[in-house]
Structure 1
Amino acid sequence: MRVVPIQLGRIVPLDSRHVLQQAVQRLVERGWQMRCGLEVEFHIYRLKDPLHGHDLDPDRAGWPGPAPEVSLIHPGFNLLTEAWFDRAEEPLRIVQRTAQALGLPLISLEIELGPSQVEAVFDVSDALTAADNMVLFRNATRQALRRAGYHATFMCRPPFEHIMSSGWHLHQSVCEQATGRNVFMRDAPAPGSSPLDALQVLSDAGAAYLAGLLAHAPALTALCTSTSNGYGRFRPNAMAPQSILWGRDNRGAMLRVIGAAGDAATRIENRLGEPAANPYLYMASQIHAGLAGVDAQLKAPEATETPYSPGATLIPTSLANAVRALQKDPTLCQALGQPFVDYYSTLKLAEHQRLAQAEDAQEFHRREYFGRI
């Protein structure tokens, strides 16, 4: 992960890892460091044809190629049951051993609610290490499982009728480099603050960072949910966000504030992301939006207790809408660099256009995402 793309003696500005390095440098200049914990949902299936992808039949060639035929490793809708874990133990052990062999800080690996859905949780690390870990985990997991006759996919919504969407929840805080103190932590609730006030839990800087994430959420969506497939997740009563809101212990909110006054583990959980997102862009977007809130001393609204109530500003409902929001956000365009935003927008609008022109949307999702990510 130390490769730096160079062209004519200069770093290529379109390199996503360099984009994150630039964002991290903004924190370093303030004496801060971002700390990230990863909570990643994905799906594992058993290949019906173990030779899929190995026989390379020229009659099956295409772009994208045909997706594999699969069966479930567990039926779902029975969270954390021993019986379902027993069915899924072999592929989960493969994932566990692979992550450990790579030195990844895997904390837990468990059955999730959806059929064939699982969740991996990783310990906190600095932003660049966390992003590198996500890249390694996805690639190694897919390769190791394929060798054993399984298919792992990090697409948000696999192309089947009875599924649960997968999300990538990013737990983030900012610490002082010199002392390790959590910048988001508040020693005591602000005088006169209510339980729904961000200053009940977060420091002034933490509350402003939260407000920055909310203020720039439409643009952030293009970087946190970077495939057309991921936008089917934003629906009510699906343990996923629908509107640009924050809450305390409510999994329907886009952002959750976890912790309490005096808790060194106080953090913000962003539930906007999908597991297929580019981790470098996901994390860079958080830094830029959060610092914009800090610099402008933005005030966070009250927390929500009813995240699906009408009236709140909705998360963009398509990749195209999210990209247009990014293009119209001068703060993020300046922070990321206009050449990068133009390049990224061109790629993602073309992806959206391919879906719009597809004769069979379901087949598009199978070929574009299920067999490839």
Structure 2
Amino acid sequence: MFQKLANKYKYEVGLVERIKTVDLNTLQEAGINIVQMETVDLDGVLRGKFLPASKVKPDALGGFCSVVYQLTPSDDIWMTQHSSFENGFPDMIAVPDVETAIQWSWKPEIGAVIFDMQQKDGSPHPLAPRSVLKRVATRFAETGYQPVFGIEFEAFVMHRDEDLMAAGRHHEMKPFGQMRNAYRLNEAADVRDLAAAFITRMREAGIPVEVFHTELGYGAVEFALSPADPVRAADNATRAKTYFRQLCAERGLAATFMAKWKVGESGSGGHVHQSIWQNGENAFYGENGAFSSASLSYGAGLLKTMPDFSVIFRPNVNSYRRFSHKSWSPENASWGKDNRSAALRILGSQGRNAYRFEHRVPGADTNLYLSLAAMLAGGHYGLTHELSAPAFAEGNAALNTDFANLPKSLLEANRLFRESDIAKDYFGELFVEHYAASRENEWQHWLDWQAEQVTSFELNRYFSTL
């Protein structure tokens, strides 16, 4: 996909098909009655409001409660200095990004706009993931290189059963499709129809899908998005997840992007392909087809910062159930040429414009704004410190002791992030402390649940034997 991008946009790296935006001044003339206001929370989930089209203008500011960065996936609220009873849960200022305004082709009466969050003085809100990504991207621009990201998601799709889900019996839902094979075409008419509808919708929303196919597992699918600059790539990926869920719900289906939704099935990755460009050329490509010194320093920075940033790539308790090289989920901060057991898979066999790294650590449950910010921070650190690159791993990278191990639990990963001077430098101390607190809160919910359970393990082991 990077080859296609470079051929089509010689000197506009990061721009795929330009998003077909609508003018916020003429929404009603375009037939739009309702606008979906979109913003992202700490977990990478789109949240928002529904507004009359007459209320949405390029210069019309809105309000959004600051508690959005203190909501768990299940909407438990936790307190901090930023939003609490003490300060009254104040509003942030919501500013529409006019370049993200689209009209849904599948429901033409509805538009959607991504809003940035600001503080009362007009500065970017330090806890807003989109602001964090813009902060790091601006700093990366000092290198003179233009980063390009292509994101792919794996997900599982089931026939929706609200009663089973309400009872916590998700595993009893019938999977979508009759086969568990990757890249299957036999008996795949239902998958093909879903793929066609999704690809069409996303194209018309300015979010090109490069490929859609089945993966290993009953109901498993994967789709990859066209490369783009960091903010647009994160916008597209976050919207695509939400819009895919919406499409599935319309068809009586349920999609999950959990990192590991069922023991015995594959995990769901959220892999990120990346390269840097300069003067319309792929700067990863070096002399005589070797990887350039810039690419090696960029990659060395990714490897060095990977343990510190692991909680960004694996942000939930469930994320660590996917942690196993046996399912091609990396266990250490490694890299190797076309090696799926490594954290960074080095790819360059499809021509100079396709030289890139595939970052294989994140699951599909990650916040893409924060993941891309972490990768940009690592790449920037490597470039500006001119880090030397370690040798590529041969064979099973997980067995190579030359690379640092990645943390194996949410608690361990969170500690590294909170104590990381590099994280504080790039993300800001305020964000690091707040995000770390959010992960501690999630860990505590897990401990509280465990304390209230007598598990099947305990019953099977002790009921009749003690």
Distance change (3 Å), C-alpha of 1:39 and 1:46: same
| 1:81-96 alignment, distance < 5 Å | 81-96=184-199
Q: What SS does structure 2 have at the residue aligned with 1:29? A: helix
Of residues 370, 391, 397, the one that matches 1:307 is: 397
> What pairs up with 1:266-285 in 2 under 5 angstroms?
266-285=355-374
2:407 corresponds to:
316
Letter of the aligned partner of 1:166 in structure 2?
Answer: S
Asked if 1:37 corresponds to 2:150, the answer is: yes
Letter of the structure 1 residue corresponding to residue 420 of structure 2: D
Q: Once the 2 structures are TM-superposed, how far is the Cα of residue 357 of structure 1 from its aligned partner? A: 2.6
Give the CA deviation at 1:35: 0.4
The answer for the alignment partner of 2:284 in structure 1 is: 184
1:8 maps to 2:120: yes
- Candidates 167, 170, 174, aligned match of 2:276: 174
- The change in CA–CA distance for 1:25 and 1:310 in structure 2 (over 3 A counts) is closer
Q: Scaled by the length of structure 2, what TM-score is found?
A: 0.68
Q: 2:320 aligns with which of 231, 249, 269?
A: 231
Structure 2 residue corresponding to 1:127, chosen from 226, 230, 234: 230
Q: CA deviation at 1:132?
A: 0.2
Unaligned runs of 5+ in 2: 1-37, 39-96, 98-114, 457-466
- What's the counterpart of residue 348 of structure 1? 439
Deviations 1:85-110 (A, max 9, x none): 23433433342333233221101110
Deviations along 1:14-40, one digit per CA (max 9) or x if unpaired, are 111011111111232333211011121
Deviation of 1:77 (Å): 3.9
Q: Structure 1 CA distance, aligned partners of 2:423 and 2:444?
A: 24
Counterpart Cα distance in 2 of 1:67 and 1:139: 23
One-letter code of the match for 2:204? A
Choose 312-321 or 239-248, whichever is displaced more: 312-321
List aligned pairs for 1:57-206, cutoff 5 A. 70-158=173-261, 160-176=262-278, 179-188=279-288, 201-206=290-295
Range with greater deviation from structure 2 (67-76 or 269-278)? 67-76
Residue number in structure 2 paired with 1:192: none
What is the alpha-carbon root mean square deviation over aligned residues?
2.4
- Using a 3 Å threshold, how does the CA distance of structure 1 residues 47 and 260 change in structure 2: closer, same or farther? closer
Q: What is the Cα deviation at residue 52 of structure 1?
A: 8.5
User: Whole-Å Cα distance in 2 between the matches of residues 262 and 73 of structure 1?
Assistant: 37
Matches of 2:154 and 2:364, distance apart in 1: 7
Q: 1:105 to 1:327 in 2, by over 3 A?
A: same
Q: Distance in 2 between matches of 1:96 and 1:67?
A: 31
Partners of 2:454 and 2:441 in 1: CA distance: 15
Distance 1:237 1:125 in 2: 31
Tell whether the 8 Å contact from 2:303 to 2:333 is kept in structure 1 after alignment: yes
User: Which sections of structure 1, spanning at least 5 residues, go unmatched?
Assistant: 54-59, 190-200, 364-373
For the Cα contact (< 8 Å) 1:242–1:314, is it kept in 2? yes
Deviation of the 1:144 alpha carbon: 1.8
1:47-70 CA distance string (max 9 Å, x none): 134x899xxxxxx6xxxx957662
Q: Deviations over 1:273-298 (max 9, x none)?
A: 11121111000101111111111111
- Kindly indicate whether the alpha-carbon contact (under 8 Å) linking 1:115 and 1:164 is maintained by their aligned counterparts in 2: no
**Given the superposition, is the C-alpha separation of residues 262 and 99 from structure 1 closer, same or farther in structure 2, using an over 3 Å criterion?**
closer
Shift of 1:75: 4.7
| Partner SS for 1:8 | coil
Of residues 287, 291, 297, the one that matches 2:386 is: 297
Task: State the structure with more CA Rg.
Answer: 2
CA deviations 1:309-355 (Å, max 9, x no partner) are: 16343211111111111122211211110000000000011112211
How many correspondences in the alignment?
338
CA distance in 2, matches of 1:141, 1:102: 12
Cα distance in structure 2, aligned partners of 1:361 and 1:148: 37
AA aligned opposite 1:347:
S
User: Identity, % of aligned pairs?
Assistant: 27
Cα distance, 1:187 vs structure 2: 2.4
Structure 2: distance between partners of 1:115 and 1:262: 35
The answer as to 2:111 corresponding to 1:21 is: no
TM-score by length of 1: 0.84
Q: Which amino acid in the other structure matches residue 247 of structure 2?
A: A
C-alpha deviation, 1:356, in angstroms: 2.5
